[in-house]
Each structure stands twice: as C-alpha cells, then as structure tokens.
Amino acid sequence: MRFLLALAVAMTAAVSAVSAAPLQFVVVDQSSEALISKAQAESVWAGLLPTERLAKLYKPSQWGFASAVEGGFTSSGVCVVTARAMMLPIWRGKMQYPPSRKSTAFDAKPNLSQAQCTELATVRLKEAIESVLSGLIKD
C-alpha cells in the first residue's frame, strides 16, 4: 500500500513538472551554411512559429517542422536560392515523411554580394514558413 501511495505522489510530481514545462515544437534545419546559418534559420522559425496557439490544435509531441535553404552563386554570379519549409508528423520520436504541409520559395538575382544573398535566403525562408503556417491558425 505504501508503494502505491509513493508511486501516486511521484507520478503527480512528474505530471506537474511536465505540465509546467513550456511547449516546444521540434524544429530541424538542414540549410547550406554558405547561405544561412543554423542559428539564423532557427531565429526565423522562433520569430514566426506561434507555439502556444499552434499547440492547442497540434500537439508538439506529434508534430514537428523542418526547413532547408539551398543554392549559392552560379558561374555567372547569380545568387540562386531555394527555401523549403515542412510540417511533419512525429511517430516514435522521429519525424516522418511525407510532410503534412510543405512550401518552397525560389529566387535568383544577379550582382548580389554574399551578405545580400544571405538576406535573400532569409526572406525566402520566411516566405516558405509563412506559407506552411498559413491556414493552421485563424487570426
């Protein structure tokens, strides 16, 4: 009987600790470091992901997000960017393909510096993320 009481107390404490933890979605970025750093991509996600509102409809333990920005400069000096964002289901602790929602944004501009190309990559990533998130939550 004491064992059951101790177990109940321990489970209550564990549930309160878990419920007090802030909700957080898994976000994985696999972008080319030449265009956008992992920290920059995570910052874009953090700024756009409405975690609390979204968690009411989609459990963070069951859904995650992924992004990838690829591209670079062509031999003629054109900055080419492809930014992809996805919402993926999580099963057994791993994100599963195919994604539930996905979006890709493209762009190509000549005569840009490396910093301007990085800024273009950031803008296209924001565009792709906003597209994935649109329709998930009504304003």
Euclidean distance between CA atoms 85 and 73, whole angstroms: 22
Structure tokens at 5: 């009481």
What's phi and psi for 126, nearest 5 deg? -60, -45
Can you spell out the DSSP letters for 94-127?
EE-SSPSEEEEEEEEEES--HHHHHHHHHHHHHH
Euclidean distance between CA atoms 112 and 119, whole angstroms: 10
71-123, pLDDT tens digit by residue?
999 999 999 999 999 999 999 989 999 999 999 999 999 999 999 999 999 99
The pTM of the whole model exceeds 0.75: yes
Domain boundaries, the chain: 24-133
Euclidean distance between CA atoms 111 and 117, whole angstroms: 9
Q: Are 99 and 80 in contact (CB under 8 A)?
A: no
26-58, pLDDT tens digit by residue?
999 999 998 999 999 999 999 999 999 899 999
